[in-house]
Amino acid sequence: MKNYRLGFSIAGSSLIIGTFVGINLLTSPSFPWSLFPAFAALWWPLAVYSHTKKSTMTMAILGCSLASTFFISINLITSPGFPWCIFPVFALLWWPLGVHMAKSRNALLASIEGSVLISLFFAVVNTVTSPGFPWAFFPIFALIWWPLSVFCTVKGKSKLFSISGSLLVIGFFFITDLITSSPIEWAFYPAFPVLVWPAVSFLRKSIKIEKILMTSGLILAGYYISLNVLFSPSYPWSIFVAYGILLAMISSSFWFGKKEIWALWGTAVISALFIATAFYIAGIKEIWIAETALIATSVQACTFFSSRKNYKSLILTGSATLIIIATMEYLSLKSDHIWLLYIVFPALWPLIMTLFPKHMGTFPFALFSSATGILYYGILNILLSPAHVWFIYPTFLLLWWPLAIYYAKTKRSIRFSLLGSLLIIIFFGATNYFTSPQIMWFVFPSFLILWWPLSAVFAQKRQRALEEE
């Protein structure tokens, strides 16, 4: 019975193909359009044969071969100048490969086969489309990590992974350097720090991680200083790199050693030395140097206070940092416009909030804070820039504070949606009036916003109906 079905499918598909080929030759011999119905008809015997064999792999191989042949033929007939068939053929090859992967259940073999197939695809596309530059090297580098990581994970070889991975990264840097900027110039700079990875992997059991980090930081900082002195002594760029490395490594080493206060002091000392050295070399006009060190120290201090749950000191540090940096920028720019005053309210108000810890979550305090902010920015608008009514924007944001507190206390979703919708519509209306009064565009977003309270009403009625049932 199976042979009869296969024979009938072959005969039937042959008859269909012959009919279309004959019509093609008689009516329009200039273009072989009969390939398209012939391609569809051939799936009939192919499916019957695969069913008789009860083999998904047979179906995958034959189907992939048939579809690939079809795309290659169409490519050669219609547009032989560009081999676009490589793209669908690449996708088709994953069919038998996927069936094989599913049956073998060998993750390592699957990773090797997959990475090889994709690498060959990129290499072919590179050769065909842009042979002048070997860009395929970059995705192939990423693909190598697939089998490498699977092998080391399956075998439990973390040390081998660190060695092979670091060598792979270093090789990538040197080959990229050679391809893009021969002779070799910059590959030495990122190559050496990669070796910290295998060093930590080998030493972490015999030496504490905090000592490894501190030693690595000192070595890396010395490495970049040496490169600076040997290859580019005209500009001391290494002080910036060394500062970042020492700050990250030494502060991390103290945190691992559970010496948070030492991390804070270490950051402060390193930042002070960095500022002094940078100002001595670059001059005091480079104010961003001090700002960078101040931000780094402030972040470390905020992290320390947060770990100790000292929120007053945390807020004080953040507010002081914001005000100091804004003041430094204002003085350095020497602007006629006193924009520094815009930052005073958001910088000082969190500090004021800490003075009233029992009232911070209450509606009256939120309403008072919001009103104070609106009054503050309203006065600034009148005094500094009366030509443009901009205080409506911070007003819109500040009014959500008491509104959110009100909803959190009452849980009245309908009233919250009504008040929120009204606030948004008034904001759009005011913006429309002050910026472009000739066009009443605020009605369009207002229509959408009204769906909020409408949805809240129906959601509440539905909930009540379900409760009654």
Q: What is the pLDDT of residues 157-196, one digit of tens each?
A: 888 888 999 999 999 988 888 888 766 578 888 888 888 8
User: Does pLDDT of 393 surpass 90?
Assistant: yes
How far is Cα of residue 244 from the mean position of the Cα atoms in its chain? 23
pLDDT band at 335 (very low <50, low <70, confident <90, very high): confident
Secondary structure (3-state) at 364: helix
Does the residue 280 lie in any domain?
Answer: no
Does the residue 368 lie in any domain?
Answer: no
Q: What is the dihedral of CA 89, 91, 93, 99, to 10 degrees?
A: -160
Burial code (b: 16+ CB inside 10 Å, e: under 16) for 216-238 equals: bbebbbebbbebbeeeeeeebeb
Query: Tokens at residue 402, please?
Result: 């008491």
Does the residue 256 lie in any domain?
Answer: no
Nearest to 338 by CA among 398, 380, 310: 380
- Cβ-in-10-Å burial (0-12, 13-18, 19+) of 341 comes to middle
User: Does pLDDT of 359 surpass 60?
Assistant: yes
Which pLDDT score, from 0 to 100, does residue 377 have? 93
Query: Tokens at residue 266, please?
Result: 């270490």
Secondary structure (3-state) at 283: coil
DSSP letter assigned to residue 184: P
What percent of the chain clears pLDDT 70, i.e. is strictly above it?
Answer: 97
Overall number of domains in the chain: 1
Does the residue 166 lie in any domain?
Answer: no
Question: Which residue type sits at 14?
Answer: S
pLDDT band at 395 (very low <50, low <70, confident <90, very high): very high
Q: Which domain holds residue 418?
A: 412-469
Which pLDDT score, from 0 to 100, does residue 310 have? 84
CA distance 118 to 139: 9
pLDDT band at 381 (very low <50, low <70, confident <90, very high): very high
Does the residue 185 lie in any domain?
Answer: no
Does the residue 421 lie in any domain?
Answer: yes
CA distance 259 to 213: 14
Does the residue 453 lie in any domain?
Answer: yes
How far is Cα of residue 171 from the mean position of the Cα atoms in its chain? 26
Average pLDDT over residues 202-221: 80
Which pLDDT score, from 0 to 100, does residue 167 have? 92
Does the residue 432 lie in any domain?
Answer: yes
Half-sphere exposure of 110 (CA within 13 A, CB side): 14
Half-sphere exposure of 129 (CA within 13 A, CB side): 12
Contacts of 124 (CB under 8 A, 6+ apart): 86
- Digit-coded pLDDT (tens) for 323-332: 888 888 888 8
Which pLDDT score, from 0 to 100, does residue 283 have? 65
Which pLDDT score, from 0 to 100, does residue 430 have? 92
Q: Please identify which residue in the block is written with the tokens 């930052």.
A: 343
- Digit-coded pLDDT (tens) for 396-452: 999 999 998 888 888 888 888 999 999 999 999 999 998 888 988 988 988 889 899
- Digit-coded pLDDT (tens) for 110-166: 888 889 989 999 998 898 888 888 888 999 999 999 999 988 888 888 888 889 999
- Pick the range with the lowest mean pLDDT from 1-10, 97-106, 265-274, 379-388: 1-10
Four-residue CA torsion sign, 354, 355, 360, 363: negative
Average pLDDT of the chain is 85
